């Protein structure tokens, strides 16, 4: 799991993974879901200077291993993969954003199933809105939605292959996701069905959403 970002778009006094979401740190939700799904060992990349806060956020949960993350997401993934490489018998890995606290089990089952036939698998959802290209605030042209998908995490890979792909990735280049790193190494990546509940908490307003639902959701006020 990667939890070493700064959460700049969300703002706040601590990186978003340590902020409260549904009453508990975002990170705690994400980790609980992965542990419940049987992910083991669970390695979490965290910002080097937030170790204490991470330990507090995860107190009482199952066994996890913390490693210092890097300056980019893929550097954090790499750090966690290198740690896993020192564990024995790792055959498959799920790479997951801490910023996606809600993780339905069916998504994991589909991903793991897909690894029987392809070295990688990612959960995706269709694009439902119209898509346009634009520049300088002006619409230029419509873009067909056909064959376009929104990509989520966790992303599943055969461990040896994704480790080699990350080791071969130019660390200067930003990768949108791990499937991009896999693709650059020539690995086939299957598409499985994603889930709206896997949405990424990105902005401060993503934390407010639930409070709004609660305020308007009760008919007894």
Q: Cα–Cα distance between 92 and 39 in angstroms, integer?
A: 10
Could you tell me the two tokens for 47? 């910002």
Site string for ligand CTP, 192-211 (x = CB under 6 A): --------x-x---------
* Shorter beta-carbon distance to ligand CTP: residue 5 or 119: 5
Main-chain phi, psi angles of 213, to 5 degrees: -60, -45
> Do β-strands 155-158 and 92-95 pair in parallel, antiparallel, or remain unpaired?
antiparallel
143: how many CB neighbours lie within 10 A of its CB?
Answer: 12
CB of 164 to ligand CTP, least distance (A): 21
Determine the residue with CB nearest ligand CTP.
5
- Return left, alpha or beta for 60; rule: phi > 0 is left, psi -120 to 50 is alpha, else beta: left
* Shorter beta-carbon distance to ligand CTP: residue 66 or 190: 66
Q: Cα–Cα distance between 98 and 78 in angstroms, integer?
A: 15
For the chain, the first-to-last Cα distance in angstroms comes to 40
Helix, strand or coil, per DSSP, at residue 154: coil
Site string for ligand CTP, 11-30 (x = CB under 6 A): ----x-x-------------
CB of 215 to ligand CTP, least distance (A): 26
Q: Cα–Cα distance between 85 and 143 in angstroms, integer?
A: 42
CA atoms within 13 A on the CB side of 12: 20
- Among the listed residues 58, 67, 93, 99, the single contact to ligand CTP using CB under 6 A: 99
Q: What is the largest CA-CA distance in the chain?
A: 58
Residues pairing with 125 in the sheet: 150
* Shorter beta-carbon distance to ligand CTP: residue 70 or 194: 70
69 near ligand CTP, rule: CB under 6 A: yes
Give the range of 70-78, 87-95, 102-110, 177-185 binding ligand CTP by CB under 6 A. 70-78
97 near ligand CTP, rule: CB under 6 A: yes
- Among the listed residues 20, 48, 61, 71, the single contact to ligand CTP using CB under 6 A: 71
175 near ligand CTP, rule: CB under 6 A: no
Site string for ligand CTP, 29-48 (x = CB under 6 A): ----------------x---
Name the site residues for ligand CTP (rule: CB under 6 A). Answer: 2-10, 15, 17, 45, 69-73, 76, 97-99, 200, 202
């Amino acid at each position: 799991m990667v939890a070493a970002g700064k959460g700049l778009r969300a703002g706040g006094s601590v990186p978003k993974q340590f902020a409260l979401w549904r009453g508990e740190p975002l990170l705690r939700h994400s980790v609980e879901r992965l542990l419940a799904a049987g992910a083991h060992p669970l390695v979490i990349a965290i910002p080097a200077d937030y170790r204490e806060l991470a330990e507090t956020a995860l107190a009482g949960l199952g066994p996890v291993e913390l490693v210092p993350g890097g300056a980019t997401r893929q550097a954090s993934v790499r750090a966690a993969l290198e740690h896993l490489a020192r564990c024995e018998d790792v055959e498959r890995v799920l790479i997951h954003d801490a910023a996606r606290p809600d993780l339905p089990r069916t998504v994991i089952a589909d991903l793991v199933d897909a690894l029987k036939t392809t070295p990688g698998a990612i959960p995706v959802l269709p694009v439902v809105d119209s898509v346009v290209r634009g520049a300088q605030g002006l619409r230029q042209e419509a873009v067909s939605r056909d064959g376009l998908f929104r990509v989520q995490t966790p992303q599943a890979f055969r461990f040896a292959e994704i480790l080699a792909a990350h080791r071969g990735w130019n660390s200067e280049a930003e990768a949108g996701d791990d499937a991009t790193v896999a693709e650059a190494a020539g690995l086939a990546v299957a598409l499985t069905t994603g889930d709206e509940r896997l949405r990424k908490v990105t902005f401060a307003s993503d934390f407010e959403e639930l409070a709004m639902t609660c305020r308007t959701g009760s008919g007894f006020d």
